[in-house]
Structure 1
Amino acid sequence: MNGRYRPMSSNTDNETVIVGAGPAGLTAALVLARYRHRVVVVDSPHAPRNSASGGVHGHIGLDGAAPAEMRSRGWKELSRYATVELLEADVESVRTAGSGRFGVGLDNGDIIEASTVLLATGVIDIHPTQVDGFSACWGHTVIHCPFCLGEENADRRWAIVVDNAELAALSAVALRAWSTDTVAICPESMPGIDGARTAAHSRGGDVIAGTIRRLHHRQGSLYAVEFDDGRTLERETLVWTPPQRQQPVVARTIDELNLTVDDGGFVSVDDTRCTNVPGLYAAGDLASRWKQSITASAAAGATAADAIHVSAIQRAVRT
């Protein structure tokens, strides 16, 4: 490997590499910086997952801010702390380096050694490539979560794509805060679809069976859903939570360090956000399928940072 070895400092009990600079990573870096803990934040130069969104929401002080603005503010705030180093690079690997330490390999061949590592990369949404128009509408009128962009799509005709009869039946009520015209779109083979449709009708909604093949839109503004049998349904907002997978470096780390994951492939952590490998933490969307928000991720990052600091104190006391 044509890189260089980069020990962070002489204080081996007080150094952390954070992989990813979203809400979890930036918050953790800020908390650790205020503990005067030495930190290197490594963030990919490629567009982040939330770059398609017009703004982040639900977090006080940042409501409506563009994702790029949020990151820019974070970088600027962290640059004031002498113990924080910011790197734009892709992380290729996270490996143990002996004596309870880690080596974080970068795409340029550099290896940064540290006593603790926080994975905060987020995840990758798997878009249905067979659905024409999905990517153009994604983050605008096709939304993964009504709590994130529901307000911006309020008072429109909504549909939610689900494959669970209970969720289909509840959708008319669950989405009513934003729309009085809601339907659920489900696979024709979904078990319990008839009962779900009856329950939805009783609540003022509907369940429609079919497979979506095209989204009709004008520059990302949805106006109709087309099914594979040629039927069309006029809709202006579509709630669709696609499957997700781990970022490549996280997937490799799971395999190489035998990290514990749940049934969905999300990294398992304890209450301190520590994985089953001591010294290796994970915070944000990569560790949670259903608590994916800027506020939840920031809280997880802060929790991890506090735990990392306490762990450093404990190591110092033992020595």
Structure 2
Amino acid sequence: MPSPHDAQTVVIGAGPAGLTAALVLARYRHPVVVVDGRQEPRNNASEGVHGHVGLDGASPDYIRSRAWAELSRYATVQRRRADADNIEAVHGGRFRIGLDIGETIESSSVLLATGVVDVHPNHVSGFSACWGRSVIHCPFCLGEENAGGRWAVVTDDARLAALSAVAFRAWSDDTVAICAESMPDINDARTKARGMGGDIVTGAIRRLHHQGGALQAVEFDDGRVLERDTLVWTLPQRQQPVVTRAIEDLKLTADDAGFVTVDATQCTSVAGLFAAGDVAARWRQSFTAAAAAGATAAEAIHAAAILSAVQH
């Protein structure tokens, strides 16, 4: 069992990427400490995870509970219930991770697997109650569970607005886009949408009418009401504070939207520091994609540890 103050690898985050990485490393008998934050998991609003074979429809709580039960069988894995505050580069290419419980851990490698934070439109009444139920961020996740109703996609992308009628036809025959009147190329987009059997509705949403999280209608600032059963609404996202500080303090490279850039092994621009899951992937945020990225990172971390041992 590794000391909580000295580990070969520290995994920060216990979502699908972090837990998968921990399991892969455990199978190699590679000492790893998983820093499991105490805040509510981002996918907690979802009633089930979908699209992952063997776990389709399983609740996030069930998956986490099962994952920790599996990891508990491995003597080289430790769990720390804490939030990581900061990461420092120290002597010998190692890292020091500060936890909010007053502890520090030193390690040879680190995996950032914190996920990201969805920025909710707090000015929209009823949004939180519907989020993860009838307001969904992607059809792949909950489209099947919302199929057959009246859909709308909230977007500022003219191309998606124009394609909304056909893009989501597998789940709904009645789909419109909701956009700001100021969206560039809106007239061309509306013409294309109508030509494919859809439409574009303009306005600023102020309230979602719902019954226990089941959407019934969208209300706009001017009082208009549009009856809808499902909204596809991809929210802005920001990094967790520890990742933001790592980008600044360790000079990690990130894209224009703030997502950490990685190579094919999930390694960041700093040797020994990896990132996997939503923290490094704006448009591939499924459970399966995150788990695959975690496994890739773990394989690279263990291979690097073997190479380092041989060289020394």
Normalising by the smaller structure, the TM-score range is over 0.9
Out of 168, 176, 183, the residue aligned to residue 176 of structure 2 is: 183
Q: Following TM superposition, where does structure 1 have runs of at least 4 consecutive aligned residues deviating by more than 2 angstroms?
A: none
> Which residue does 2:98 correspond to in 1?
105
Q: Secondary structure at the match of 1:105?
A: strand
**Structure-2 residue corresponding to 1:7:** 6
Counterpart AA for 2:102: G
Q: Describe the SS at the equivalent of 1:99.
A: helix
The equivalent of 1:208 in structure 2 is 201
Q: 1:86 is paired with a residue of what secondary structure?
A: strand
Instruction: Please state how far the C-alpha of 1:5 moved relative to its aligned partner.
Output: 8.1
Residue number in structure 2 paired with 1:151: 144
Number of residue equivalences: 310
d(CA) in 2 for partners of 1:100, 1:293: 32
Which of residues 288, 305, 308 is equivalent to 1:315? 308
1:67 is aligned to: 60
CA distance in 2, matches of 1:226, 1:201: 22
One-letter amino acid of the counterpart of residue 39, structure 2: H
1:194 aligns with 2:187: yes
Deviations 1:181-237 (A, max 9, x none): 000001100111111111111111111111111100111110000111111100000
Q: CA shift at 1:258, angstroms?
A: 0.8
TM-fit CA distance, 1:314: 1.1
CA deviation string 1:278-319 (max 9, x = no partner): 000000001011000000000000000010011111111211
Please provide the CA RMSD for this pair. Answer: 1.0
Question: 1:1-319 to 2 correspondence within 5 Å?
Answer: 6-8=5-7, 15-319=8-312
Q: Secondary structure at the match of 1:80?
A: coil
Q: Secondary structure at the match of 2:5?
A: strand
2-side partners of 1:134 and 1:5: how far apart?
A: 40
CA distance in 1, matches of 2:290, 2:190: 35
Q: TM-score, normalised by structure 1?
A: 0.96
State the alpha-carbon separation in 2 of the partners of residues 98 and 219 from structure 1: 54
Deviation of 1:155 (Å): 0.3
- Percent identity of paired positions between Structure 1 and Structure 2: 67
* TM-score, normalised by the number of residues in structure 2: 0.98
Structure 1 residues without counterparts, runs of 5 or longer:
9-14
Q: Secondary structure at the match of 1:115?
A: strand
Partners of 1:7 and 1:227 in 2: CA distance? 55
Rounded to whole Å, the distance in 2 between the matches of 1:241 and 1:7 is: 40
Indicate if the aligned counterparts of 2:4 and 2:78 stay in contact, CA closer than 8 A. no
Q: Which amino acid aligns with 2:105?
A: I
